[in-house]
Structure 1
Amino acid sequence: MEASSPQDQLSDARELDLENSGNVGPTWAVTEAVRLRRFLCYGSEGATYSTKEQPFSLENALTLVQLVEGGRGCEVAEEVRRLWPLGGATCPNASLFALAVCSQHTDARAKRVALQVLGELCRVPAQLFAFVQYRKELKGAEHGGMWGRALRKAVANWYNGQDALSLANTVTKCKHKAGWSHQDLFRLSHIKPANDAVALISKYVTKGWKAVQETYADREISEELVKVFAYLEAVEKAKHLTDELEVVHLIEEHKLDREQILTHHLKSKEVWKALLKDMPVSSLMRHLGKMTADRVLVPGRPDVAAVCERIQDEQALMKTKTHPFSILVASENYKRGHGKRGKLKWDPNHDIVEALDCAFSKCLSNVEGTGRRFLVGVDVSARLGSLALGSSVSTVAVAAAMSMVILHSEVEAEVLVFSEGAMVPCAISGDTSITQVMAQLVQAHNCITDCSLPILWATDNHKMVDVFIIFTSNETWFGRENPAETLRMYRQKTGVFSKLIVCGMTTNGLSVADPDDRGMLDICGFDSRAVDVIRNFVLDII
């Protein structure tokens, strides 16, 4: 059994609870530390991750509440601080909710640490707005206002701590979220600007552009203020211009973003071409459909070649650590030829489709292996092809992509397609394309799904497996064996504390995992967050 790493320690330490009574086999106890990390990772203390968003409340964060009420709020805040930098190790909103719980408690030290962590980790205004809203919801019907001295100081420090031009960009891109605006927070925090640049931006946010002009237009100001003034002036001009070429000029000169441009200007091809020059690749891929529909990207034109080159830029993909699943989502959405809502339609450009497929293959190298032994079971008892909940990607594409990711990144991994009475190895080599893998998975036997079959196969064939992952789009069924019991018997026979992940890609409800066994996890639907949840689960973070 593996020793725990420093990465997954909480102050109360993780404990292994080995039960060897009867034929149950070893189990790993679900401690309060595990329940807290589950909540921080995916917003639930249970053994099920769902792509269907659930509102956070004290009722579904009982362990979090118990820890804070028990005088351990500082430890909770420190756990948020430890996990957040690990990237996908936390769900930002769940962590913000946890900090809000700590910050509104009567424990002065817990409140102070929580607000310190907020200032260190909160990077975008949407997160700050979310935190303030959670504070408001937690305050509920209690008497007294929520805007005490500590919160006012924390919010003011968040704004004062930013670079002047970055702050100008921040307040003009994301103006409001979760029922709050920058104007609300500037006013309620009683912010005292730390310098002249923040003072200018504060006047802009609270009083408007006209007041800024009246105060600063004829005043001799520093070079930094000149830059901030010019930037805000460009943002304001873009709101009123009718000439698209003037808008293009402002975009190019001041690096304006799409969110700062009026909707009717976004119908202009020239405006989109200007935005494309500095648009992040992740944003570019989200808007491929619209740009194709609006004929910004026309087959055979230089703009298409430039976009394809950026999509496949291996260094850029590596620098941003883009996961193959993110590319898959962009690719499947683009190939579909229409948006989720509305009337937007387009004919997918062949060169762009090929570029996305190429980018997917390149991104496989971005995934760092876990060092565990995997067995992936893809259920073909019902035809794969419906859309996975949470990402609008076909279930066969999800299963194919994740199988390729695991085979490429892990030293020991096997992929099997299974249905009742049949287990067939899936042939995937280094040069196999995702289309070829999907073709192997599109087969149906019209049988009942039995999630215990891959575990039984591993038992019969003496396979040493650390992690079983099942992908299914069918209703799961307890066949000859309950999967949880089958896993325990496998553990007892092999001496390996194996884990089981069942991904019900088309269901909102799944109950295969034993909630009291830390080595079992259910996933309902499938999205980018599910990728992180799986990794965290495998690496014992949750």
Structure 2
Amino acid sequence: MKPSGSSGVTNNVPSPSENHALNSADGACPWEVSDTARLRRFLCYGSESNIYTAREESQLSMESATTLLSLLQDGQGCEVVEDVKRFARDGRAVALNPCLFALAVCSQHSEQKTKQAAFEALKEVCTCPTHLFAFVQYKKELKEGMKCGIWGRALRRAVSHWYNEQDAMSLALAVTKCKQRHGWTHQDLLRLSHTKPASETIALISKYVTKGWPEVQTAYADKENLEEVVKVLSYLEVVEKVRHSCDETEVVHLIMEHRLEREQLLTDHLKSKDVWRALLKEMPLESVLRILGKMTADKVLEPGSRDMVAVCERIQSEAALKKAKLHPFTILFASENYKRGHNCRGKVKWEPDISILKALDTAFYKSFMNVEPVGKRFAVAVDVSTSLSSVVPGTSVSTAVVAAAITMLIARTEVDTQVLAYSEGAIVPCTIAADMTLTQATIELVKIPTGMTDGTLPMTWATENQKAVDMFIVLTNNPCWSFTASPVESLRKYRQNSGIFSKMVMCGLTSIGHAIADTEDRGLLSMCGFDLGAMSVIRNLAQDLI
């Protein structure tokens, strides 16, 4: 990566024939927002608009999914289901609820092929009980508006298949870890679906869910059971034993031996430090990051202790980071929250431990290996005309740190990246380099003098210097997009001059709801605030998916 003022840059603009040619005389974008793009926006972040609002859970309804309905009416239901599967399977959705909602709508459509495709996709999209419960609840909420029933033959068959096609031990864990969500229980679903178990082990788990452990004990006590049935019986016996145990030593032993999880324990068990120490050994790494503050406050993790050393080693283990597929921003937000020394309400307080902070810092840089390059030409422009000392809403992270981290992430993962800073009505020297630490990059940004905001400067710079850019990422603290000129018009002029269909994301790091423009240009997106989901949105836009 070369800073804006460097010489010897070789990525000049290629001829229009090598790119998406723009055929409009006034430079307007020929790529209007298609119905497919609107659908994929909905699947990605729950809205068909070109505005992504961080940390906002969209209210899903038929009114918010008009394009979905239109595509179904046009006979494109099977294509819709394929998109749902793609966004759910590949982790392209910020949250899975829009995908589950869309799948529920497809499953209740009158066209038989669409309905069949939706139910066949159920297991692939609903990978855990929480997803399955949410899907069924969406179907219940849609019942009145779509004038259809819920528990017809197709849903009964699909839910039955969901249970019957599970690995027995995985299902035993699922039904004991997640008993109910969204007003539904496993007992409800097994009863309403009239599930006929496809194997002895599924029959055992079904009886356990619907009749309880005493009935299971009676039914299987005197039988000569298959090896797999014995295995599941033993596991369920352990779960029942731990739920009725008041012996802390016994609970710890059962957790360690059978890898029990905290959702399978009683609330009273979680008052024990030793129980938490046992849970931490096998707890998913992302869950560990979320409770570091509480574990420090409760002295489960004490300075210099064996447990502290083990947790720190795991946090910065490349194998553990790769297995958990943790994104750098997941670790950054966890680190900043831990560094703050109290939870969001301030009720739980702790003294941040230096060894944990060092482990998180190391993990942040190592986790860059989990980010797959997009393979596009990026220009990341940071607006330093206003102070970067404010905090991104909903986080404990300053806008300067977030801006530096976004810049670092793209510069380290994308081969062709230009980093710009603009202030005082011009691009200003910015010597951020890919091999800098986050602290160094942040210092580099905040030392630049503030001045006048002009969001057109990145595109103007690229035009004047004949730079080939596929994706402009403009980061600003200005919440109202009060630019003296239109960044949208500047982008269109750049496209006309370069022959490249460039896209632009205007990210207002402190914005809570303003959009850069009400436009039908598919290559323009506004972001209000910032969270981990924003990186998924940027990635999807860069790859022409939304």
TM norm. shorter chain > 0.5: yes
Of the candidates 102, 127, 152, which is equivalent to residue 123 of structure 1?
127
Query: 8 Å contact 1:27–1:518 — kept in the other structure?
Result: no
Residue type of the alignment partner of 1:33:
T
**Most deviating of 99-108 and 375-384:** 375-384
- Per the alignment, residue 9 of structure 1 pairs with none
Which amino acid in the other structure matches residue 74 of structure 1? C
Counterpart-to-counterpart distance in 2, 1:394 and 1:237: 47
Q: Which residue of 1 aligns with 2:271?
A: 267
Letter of the 2:43 counterpart: L
- Is the contact made by 1:30 and 1:517 (CA closer than 8 Å) also made in structure 2? yes
**Cα distance in 1 for residues equivalent to 2:244 and 2:398:** 43
**In 1, distance between residues paired with 2:371 and 2:219?**
52
**1:29 is the counterpart of 2:26:** no
2:211 to 193, 198, 207: 207
Deviation at 1:209, TM superposition (A): 2.1
**Paired residue secondary structure (1:145):** coil
1:251-281 alpha-carbon deviations (Å, 9 max, x no partner): 0121101111222222212111211221221
Q: 1:45 corresponds to which residue?
A: 48
Residue pair 2:286, 2:324 contacting (<8 A) in 1 also: no
Q: Which moved more, 1:192-201 or 1:385-394?
A: 385-394
State the 4+ residue runs in structure 1 displaced beyond 6 angstroms: 1-4
Displacement, 1:365?
2.8
Farther-moved stretch of structure 1 (480-489 vs 218-227):
218-227
Counterpart among 464, 468, 479 of residue 468 in structure 2: 464
Task: Decide which of 335, 338, 343 is 2:342's aligned counterpart.
Answer: 338
Given that residues 94 and 533 in structure 2 are in contact (C-alpha distance below 8 angstroms), is that contact kept between their aligned partners in structure 1?
A: no
SS in 1 for 2:57: coil
Any residues of structure 2 matched to 1:130-529 within 5 Å, and which? 130-140=134-144, 145-341=149-345, 343-443=347-447, 447=451, 449-529=453-533
Letter in 2 for 1:110: T
Structure 1 distance, partners of 2:178, 2:387, is 43
Q: Deviations over 1:319-339 (max 9, x none)?
A: 443221111111111111111
**Per-residue deviation, residues 361-390 of structure 1 (Å, max 9, x unmatched):** 112233222222211112223322333235
Q: Using the alignment, how far apart are the partners of 2:17 and 2:400 within structure 1?
A: 33
Distance 1:473 1:180, change over 3 A: farther
List aligned pairs for 1:52-131, cutoff 5 A: 52-88=56-92, 91-131=95-135
| 1:219-241 per-position Cα deviation (integer Å, ceiling 9, x unaligned) | 43222222212212222222222
Secondary structure, aligned partner of 2:419:
strand
Q: Is the 8 A contact 1:17 1:28 kept in 2?
A: no
Q: Residues 262 and 455 from structure 1, CA distance in 2 versus in 1: closer, same or farther, beyond 3 angstroms? A: same
- Higher mean C-alpha deviation, range 211-220 or range 130-139: 211-220
- Residue 8 of structure 2 corresponds to none
CA displacement 1:295-324 (0-9 Å, x = unmatched): 111111122121111111113323443221
CA distance in 2, matches of 1:205, 1:448: 64
Tell me the distance in 2 between the aligned counterparts of 1:379 and 1:372: 22
* Cα distance in 1 between the residues matched to 2:122 and 2:151: 16
The one-letter code sitting in structure 2 at the alignment partner of 1:450 is D
Cα offset for 1:90? Answer: 6.7
Counterpart AA for 2:78? C
Q: Give the TM-score of the pair, scaled to structure 1.
A: 0.92
Q: d(CA) in 1 for partners of 2:21 and 2:152?
A: 44
Aligned-partner SS, 1:476: coil
Alpha-carbon spacing, 1:129–1:225, altered in 2? closer, same or farther (3 Å):
same
Residue type at the aligned position of 1:163: D
- Percent of aligned pairs with the same residue? 56
Say if 1:80 and 1:17 are closer, same or farther in 2 by CA, change over 3 A. farther
| 1:514 to partner: Cα distance | 4.7
Most deviating of 504-513 and 81-90: 81-90
Evaluate the alpha carbon distance shift between residue 514 and residue 459 of structure 1 in structure 2; reply closer, same or farther with a 3 A threshold: farther
Kindly tell me: are residues 2 and 319 of structure 1, through their superposed partners in 2, closer, same or farther at Cα, counting changes over 3 Å?
A: farther
Q: Distance in 1 between matches of 2:149 and 2:421?
A: 58
8 Å contact kept, 1:449–1:475: no
Structure 1 unmatched runs, 5+: 5-15
Q: Distance in 1 between matches of 2:145 and 2:421?
A: 54
**Which amino acid in the other structure matches residue 49 of structure 2?**
G
C-alpha contact 2:81 2:103 (8 A) present in aligned 1: yes
**CA distances 1:43-84 after superposition (whole Å, capped 9, x unpaired):** 111111122111111111111101112222112112223443
Distance apart, 1:89 and its partner CA = 5.2
| Structure 1 counterpart SS, 2:400 | helix
Q: What amino acid is the match of 1:337?
A: G
Conserved 8 A contact 1:103-1:112: yes
Report the CA distance shift for 1:391/1:177 in structure 2 as closer, same or farther (over 3 A).
farther
Unaligned runs of 5+ in 2: 1-15
Amino acid at match of 2:45: Y
- Shift of residue 2 of structure 1? 9.3
Work out the CA distance in 1 between the residues paired with 2:203 and 2:18: 53
CA separation of 1:309 and 1:3: change in aligned 2, threshold 3 A? farther
RMSD value over aligned CA atoms? 2.2
How many Å separate the matches in 1 of 2:178 and 2:429?
49
Structure 1 residues 142 and 73: CA distance shift in structure 2, 3 A: closer
Q: Normalising by the residue count of structure 2, what TM-score does the alignment of the two structures yield?
A: 0.92
| Bigger mean CA offset, 209-218 vs 54-63 | 209-218
Q: Using the alignment, how far apart are the partners of 2:143 and 2:329 within structure 1?
A: 39
Q: SS at 2:278's partner residue?
A: helix
- Which residue identity is paired with 1:457? W
Moved more, 55-64 or 446-455: 446-455
Is 339-348 or 400-409 further displaced after alignment?
339-348
Q: Distance in 2 between matches of 1:41 and 1:65?
A: 17
Structure 1 pair 26–351 and aligned structure 2 pair: CA distance change class (3 A): same
**Aligned residue in 2 for 1:8:** none
Question: Is the deviation greater in 313-322 or in 131-140?
Answer: 313-322
1:13 aligned residue: none
Distance 1:21 1:142 in 2: 45
Query: Residue deviations 1:387-428, cap 9 Å, x none?
Result: 323554332222111110111111121222323424324323
Kept in 1: contact 2:481–2:514 (CA 8 A): no
Q: Post-superposition shift, 1:126?
A: 0.9
Structure 1 residues 448, 263: closer, same or farther in 2, change over 3 A?
farther
Which amino acid is 1:47 matched to? N
| Amino acid across the alignment from 2:42 | F
Q: Is the 8 A contact 2:107 2:118 kept in 1?
A: yes
